[in-house]
Chains A and B, each alone.
Chain A
Amino acid sequence: MHKVVDKNGQQIFLRDHVKYDGKADDMGLLSQQEGMIIASPSETKVEVQSLEGGPPEVIDSCDVVVTYSLVAKIAGLSTQEELQEMINNAEIRYDKAVADGKPARKKRSSSGNAAAKAKKETESLFD
């Protein structure tokens, strides 16, 4: 793997959160976007997935600024509290991701009950 750095010379790692200028709108205005690094195809390019969604973009690494780096945080770990906080956050995000990725369990079909109810109602009409 090659070393890739951001605008400030800070090394960029996978899953780092970054800020960068998005594409210009019809009026030519640039909006700042937040995204996550998903790949670094070369020493000067990074692939960013916008947190707002949409397809990932390949942009120059000198156009991004790292705002949060989990890898840098892991490398700097030194206390139990720091580690525990990191694990707790990871667990919350993991549980959420797993729950979001899982299709909601369908409720059991109530058609059988509905049919029985309808039959009962019909029968009651003739009583």
Chain B
Amino acid sequence: MQLLKQRKKLKVCLTRSTMEKKDDIFAGSAVPPKKIQRTNLFNGEFSPSGIEAAKCFRRFYYTKMLGLKAKTTPVAMIFGTCIHEAVEEFYKLTSAMEAHPSKKDRLDVKIAVVQKFAEAWQEAGVDGDIKRNLESGLMIMNNYVDKYIDDTSKFELENIESDQWVAMPNGTMMLVKMDRVLRENSMIVLVDTKTTSGGITPYFFRNFENHLPTTLYTYTVEQLLGKCDYVMIDAIKVPPPPSTSKSEPFGRGTFMRTDLQIQDAISTYCAVTDYIMSVIKHPESEWAERMYCDQSHCGDYGGCEFLDLCKHGLDHPTVRVNFDIKPPKKPENLL
């Protein structure tokens, strides 16, 4: 079991030094450090989540055009990212295993997965809160492995957490980061892991019936592999429900994407990106005004982080105190 051996190598590194593991682990391992790819709209590059953020153009202006990034990342987001990393590890290991793993292999996988969470959590360097912390992450991953260890889906390694560039009809490029793509028995299924603090209920799954990023992922899979039979949402409740709760800790839902839905998603993508590309042809001084604020989204996700900037302008001290500014590289011929 080559992958498990690799994990053991990682484990030794974790024991020695988690805080400086990045260099250590990759020095002697077959796993190369993952290079994070980012889009630059000035080169005509977009991502499905970026299009989702452009529901409010002003928000898109702050994040993608000015390069403002909040100095502190919410614990909930860090926790979700660490859960994602541990889930990715789980599928890398189980995809390389036989159909009916032995007791020893099951234990090895479980230990490797909880260690992966601990590793990611240490790297993030946060303590968390009463519900999102190292121990609750261990509980989630332990239960996740128990629930899905007998899932017979085998993912090819290159189809786990893969980044793909797709040429779009309006000449822009779209960067898609897909969690997993399952190719089995002539079926192709796109699997997207979602963490949610709400209940895993039919109401939660209804959000994905016509979810724009997921439809754009489907389009990407169709472009690359010729078809995508359906989309599966692999939902994980974070923080985990207490043992006395009747809430479901995990759940899966599957969705079809019709040609009409995909056509609609492409139309939305093109309309949004065409507008943004037209704005950057104007002088920079006009960008803020043209990338207007859609006030109906100010309350999304507990309140927009840029609200103070819309209230007081970019000269407000909040900008320096709360945000890092890393503007994307602009081409020289831009106005």
Where the two chains meet, the residues of A that have a C-beta atom closer than 8 Å to any C-beta of B are 1-4, 11, 13-15, 38-40, 70-72, 74-80, 83, 86-87, 89-91, 93-95, 97-101
Once A3-B20, A14-B122, A71-B122 are accepted as A-B contacts, the answer to whether A98 and B134 lie under 8 Å apart by CB is no
With A and B bound together, what is the CA distance between A71 and B134 in angstroms?
A: 9
With A and B bound together, what is the CA distance between A79 and B110 in angstroms?
A: 11
Q: Are B19 and A13 in contact (CB under 8 A)?
A: yes
Once A83-B107, A87-B138, A95-B242 are accepted as A-B contacts, the answer to whether A75 and B19 lie under 8 Å apart by CB is no
Which listed residue, A1, A4, A14, A94, touches B240 by the CB 8 Å rule? A94
Q: Which of B134-159 contact A (CB under 8 A)?
A: 134-136, 138-139, 142
Once A80-B107, A91-B243, A97-B131 are accepted as A-B contacts, the answer to whether A71 and B18 lie under 8 Å apart by CB is yes
Could you list 6 A-B pairs, sorted by A, with CB under 8 Å? Answer: A1-B125, A83-B111, A87-B139, A90-B138, A93-B135, A94-B135
- Closest residue of chain A to B103 (Cβ to Cβ) is A80
With A and B bound together, what is the CA distance between A24 and B152 in angstroms?
A: 61
With A and B bound together, what is the CA distance between A99 and B245 in angstroms?
A: 11
- Closest residue of chain B to A98 (Cβ to Cβ) is B242
Which listed residue, A13, A14, A74, A95, touches B126 by the CB 8 Å rule? A14
Q: A15 — which chain B residues lie within 8 A by C-beta?
A: 127, 133-134
With A and B bound together, what is the CA distance between A79 and B121 in angstroms?
A: 22
Where the two chains meet, the residues of B that have a C-beta atom closer than 8 Å to any C-beta of A are 11, 14-15, 17-20, 107, 110-111, 114-115, 118, 121-123, 125-127, 130-131, 133-136, 138-139, 142, 240, 242-244
Q: Are A72 and B142 in contact (CB under 8 A)?
A: no
Q: Are B17 and A14 in contact (CB under 8 A)?
A: no
Q: Give chain A nearest CB distance to B161 CB in angstroms.
A: 22
Q: A77 — which chain B residues lie within 8 A by C-beta?
A: 111, 114-115
Q: A91 — which chain B residues lie within 8 A by C-beta?
A: 139, 243
- Other A-B contacts than A1-B123, A2-B20, A94-B240, 5 sampled, CB-CB below 8 A, are A1-B18, A71-B122, A75-B115, A90-B138, A98-B242
Q: A71 — which chain B residues lie within 8 A by C-beta?
A: 18, 118, 122, 134
- Closest residue of chain A to B126 (Cβ to Cβ) is A14
With A and B bound together, what is the CA distance between A94 and B20 in angstroms?
A: 29
With A and B bound together, what is the CA distance between A26 and B200 in angstroms?
A: 56
A2, A87, A93, A99: most-surrounded residue (chain B CB, <10 A): A87
Q: Are B242 and A94 in contact (CB under 8 A)?
A: yes
- Closest residue of chain B to A92 (Cβ to Cβ) is B243
Q: A80 — which chain B residues lie within 8 A by C-beta?
A: 107
Q: A87 — which chain B residues lie within 8 A by C-beta?
A: 138-139, 142
Q: Give chain B nearest CB distance to A39 CB in angstroms.
A: 7
Q: A89 — which chain B residues lie within 8 A by C-beta?
A: 135
Q: Are A83 and B114 in contact (CB under 8 A)?
A: yes
